[in-house]
Amino acid sequence: MNSSTITFNSEVTEKDMIELTKHASFLKLGAILCFVGYSLFDIIFCIYNGGLDPNNPNQLNILGWGTFLFAFTTSMVYFGYKRLPYTRGKKAFKKFKKMGSTETKIVFHKDSNVFTAGRSSHTITPDKNMQVVKTKERYLFYFGKGLYSPSFCISATSQTEVVKVEKIMNHLSNTYPQIKVETKEQ
């Protein structure tokens, strides 16, 4: 290992992929959009079908159905949001495993401020959209907010790995002061 690079070698597990999906920003945005969409649908349903006419005897019936529909869709969004990281994470791990070994190598190049990750040494350049989330066992790196934006995780169980990540973050804070490590409880 030369002094201008920091290298991580790790075995990717299904739990790593689930954690990467669980804290991704696209998942939170999707849940918010579903909740807002279903709420608007429910309001339009109630207004269109029941009207706001006090002389309408069916208005309470329509509002009752609207309330039921709202409660049902809200619970479906909530439970879907809770279940989605597990299904997407398991699917991503199966795809990753199908490509060959689950070993991965991540290298940070200090001189050019880029990461190379994976078997094909895919180059990832940090920018203002980079997010770093620290959980109990991992550091999760996200480069963008989209569904297919690059991301990877580094184990935080070894003190040497934690020191390496802190060196990377100190180095990147000079170029991108808005990038901070966000701590999340599991």
Beta-carbon neighbour count of residue 7 at 10 Å? 12
pLDDT (average), residues 134-151: 82
| Confidence label for 24 from pLDDT (cuts 50, 70 and 90) | confident
The answer to whether the CB of 112 falls within 8 A of the CB of 131 is no
The confidence score (pLDDT) of residue 62 equals 65
| Confidence label for 93 from pLDDT (cuts 50, 70 and 90) | confident
Tokens 């709420």 sit on residue: 39
Which pTM value belongs to this model?
0.71
For residue 121, pLDDT beyond 60: yes
Task: Give the Cα separation of 20 and 51 in Å (integer).
Answer: 45
Task: Give the Cα separation of 70 and 66 in Å (integer).
Answer: 6
Edge-to-edge order in the sheet of strand 151-155: 151-155, 138-143, 130-134, 181-183
pLDDT (average), residues 52-71: 66
- For 18, half-sphere exposure in the C-beta direction (CA atoms, 13 angstrom radius) is 12
The confidence score (pLDDT) of residue 50 equals 57
Q: Are strands 151-155 and 181-183 parallel, antiparallel or unpaired?
A: unpaired
pLDDT per position as a tens digit, 35-55:
787 778 777 776 666 555 566
C-alpha Rg value of the chain to the nearest Å: 22
For residue 169, pLDDT beyond 80: yes
The confidence score (pLDDT) of residue 119 equals 67
The confidence score (pLDDT) of residue 56 equals 62
For residue 154, pLDDT beyond 70: yes
Which one is predicted more confidently, 30 or 114? 114
Q: What is the b/e burial string over 80-108, where b = at least 16 CB atoms within 10 angstroms of the residue's CB?
A: ebeebbeebbeebbeebeeeeeeebebeb
How would DSSP label each residue in 115-142?
EEETTTTEEE---TTEEEEE-SSEEEEE
